[in-house]
Structure 1
Amino acid sequence: MDWIERINSAVNYIEENLDKEISYERIAQIVGCSVYNFQRMFSYIADKPLSEYIRNRRLTMAAFDLINSKDKIIDIAMKYGYDSHDSFTRAFQKFHGVLPSKVRNETVRLKSCPKISFQIIIKGETYMNYQIEQLPGFTVSGFKHRICTNDAFNIVPQIWDTAWKNGTMDCMTELFMKADYRPAGFLGISAGGRWGNSEEMDYYLAVTTYVDVLECKRVEPFDGMDTFEFPQATWVIFEANGELPDAVQQVYKKFYTEWLPNSGYELDDLPVIESYMQNNRQEVWIAIVKSGNS
């Protein structure tokens, strides 16, 4: 099963379970990556967060149930995951613009979120500068933050902002000056969140402190820092130069929608690395494997 088929299989799983509990862990198993990576992947491909898509699909189906059945509103609410009449009413009105009670008593205009389907698209509008490298294992060191996976998109920018204000980046700079290894620069790494432990993940602000080659000298981290070890792997490394956050976000979008589906590779189950250097120079490191080898 190729990458596009896996994503569509995950969408089919969601569709089959709109009136049941949807397991993000099961979604990650189907696609073969961490929960966080799938959430990020989905948001770039679909232009909306996974949680929003699921909510909108459920509210779409709830409207059909109101029109086509005589079930009580509270029963429809509970069917689609709402634990009270009030919470369902608020969500329904926010999405459709009308109260659910009016659907059966008046002629109203409703919204519909159709089931999404992914296909390979070849646009070729702009070039992507990248290189594929097989690299030895390496170690990164820095400050680890335990965060809720579902809140990561909001929390991660706050982590960076706080680090620049509270002196954390001064400490990171001192470590970086001792260990100028690749991946270079200040690194942002989202680790964990794989099935079985998907509710939380670790986010690292780090620098590379060791590469597993004979001539490399290991640099010891400062007190209070954590380390994360990457195994030997194949990486595709993209230039993401330009103003943040747009430059990096554009790389992710084109990677998931154009590069990966046509590359003959699949995602490896390793954290993605964002490398931030001087003068608006950035790189995105994504571990990959040949299709059929994962």
Structure 2
Amino acid sequence: MEWIERVNNVVNYIEENIDKEISYDEIAKLAVCSVYNFQRMFSYIANQSLSEYIRNRRLTLAAFDILNTRENIIDIALKYGYNSQDAFTRAFRRFHGVLPSKVRTEVVSLRTCPKISFQITITGGNHMNYQIEQWAAFTISGIRKRIETEKAFQVVPKIWQTAGNDGTMNRLFELLSQADMRPVGLLGVSAGGQWGDSEEMDYYLGVTTYVDVPECTKVITPEDMDELQLPKATWVIIEANGELPDSIQNVYKNFYTEWLPNSGYDLDDLPVIECYLQDNRQEVWIAIKPICK
């Protein structure tokens, strides 16, 4: 499968540059999708985040260097991206459970994180309700936050929490009452992070305010809100009903590990949209395109 080959290409790139700077632009280029989409995909098929995998690989190799060479520990720390021996010592101890200085003077147990390699296993064990739909161009209006791509998974929940406390959520509900259009509900939209602009991305809390069909009347975007315009595309729309966050997380895991590899589709380079309705009902919209032969 082409997309599995691309994931493995990224892993090979990381391995080749594990003691150098790892470029998120290059990751986006090799993955042919945004870094945020790749981070999400990686975390569900590898059961660890991309940043955690890179850190654990570096700490694994650092331990081998301490055991097998006479290099100074500070030089090994710098080699694997740590700016000080103190920072390296803290990270090493969290991962291995011992101080790096004891590796050469005592018999200690060390952990390893082996290089990952991905392959497809068809299990068919999980049920997923979805539909594939050609959808017209549409506009989302809302609050835009510029965030660091690498920290997106930690920052996004805080954005929602703040919106609930500062009145933003009430304003979005008011806008929603004027604009009952698909994608429906309050929307969380992860946009950007593509090759050439991978270090940062935009996250929108918004509402659909226009769909490019004859019967639709555009709802005016408030002056202090931003617009995100999305083109006509093919979307897989997945039901994600149930308690949050498990319901959404289960959808992503099933999508990336089972549905996508066997679907004949590839990810399109468009934002991922989470739709939050009422009564624990949610949808996830992911843009797809046929795999080019």
- Write the distance in 2 (CA, Å) between the matches of 1:50 and 1:180: 37
1:58-97 aligned at under 5 Å gives the runs 58-97=58-97
Contact map agreement 2:14 2:22 (CA 8 A) in 1: yes
The runs of 4+ residues in structure 1 deviating greater than 6 Å are none
Letter in 1 for 2:15: E
Match of 1:118 in 2: 118
SS of 1:104 mapped into structure 2? coil
Match of 1:220 in 2: 220
Shift of 1:2: 0.2
Match of 2:170 in 1: 170
1:40-51 aligned at under 5 Å gives the runs 40-51=40-51
What is the Cα-based RMSD across aligned positions, in Å? 1.2
Letter in 2 for 1:59: L
Contact map agreement 2:209 2:218 (CA 8 A) in 1: yes
- Write the distance in 2 (CA, Å) between the matches of 1:253 and 1:217: 37
Match of 1:278 in 2: 278
Output one character per residue of 1:231-283: Cα deviation in whole Å (capped at 9) or x when no partner. 01110000000000100010001111111111111111100000010111100
SS of 1:195 mapped into structure 2? coil
Letter in 2 for 1:284: V
TM-score normalised to the size of structure 2? 0.97
- Write the distance in 1 (CA, Å) between the matches of 2:168 and 2:5: 43
Contact map agreement 2:24 2:199 (CA 8 A) in 1: no
Which segment drifts farther, 125-134 or 64-73? Answer: 64-73
- Write the distance in 2 (CA, Å) between the matches of 1:126 and 1:89: 42
Output one character per residue of 1:99-134: Cα deviation in whole Å (capped at 9) or x when no partner. 112111221111000111111122222210000011
Which segment drifts farther, 14-23 or 77-86? Answer: 77-86
- Write the distance in 2 (CA, Å) between the matches of 1:138 and 1:81: 43
Match of 2:99 in 1: 99
- Write the distance in 2 (CA, Å) between the matches of 1:185 and 1:88: 45
Which segment drifts farther, 165-174 or 283-292? Answer: 165-174
Match of 2:258 in 1: 258
Indicate whether 1:30 and 2:45 are aligned: no
SS of 1:220 mapped into structure 2? coil
- Write the distance in 2 (CA, Å) between the matches of 1:13 and 1:149: 19
- Write the distance in 2 (CA, Å) between the matches of 1:146 and 1:83: 27
- Write the distance in 1 (CA, Å) between the matches of 2:270 and 2:264: 18
Letter in 1 for 2:65: D
Letter in 1 for 2:179: A
Q: Name the count of aligned residue pairs.
A: 293
Match of 1:193 in 2: 193
Letter in 2 for 1:230: L
Indicate whether 1:12 and 2:36 are aligned: no
1:131-142 aligned at under 5 Å gives the runs 131-142=131-142
SS of 1:105 mapped into structure 2? coil
SS of 2:287 mapped into structure 1? strand
- Identity in percent: 68
Q: Which runs of 5+ in 1 are unaligned?
A: none
- Write the distance in 1 (CA, Å) between the matches of 2:168 and 2:72: 55
Shift of 1:39: 1.2
Q: Which runs of 5+ in 2 are unaligned?
A: none
Indicate whether 1:208 and 2:208 are aligned: yes
- Write the distance in 2 (CA, Å) between the matches of 1:156 and 1:57: 26
TM-score normalised to the size of structure 1? 0.96
Letter in 2 for 1:71: E
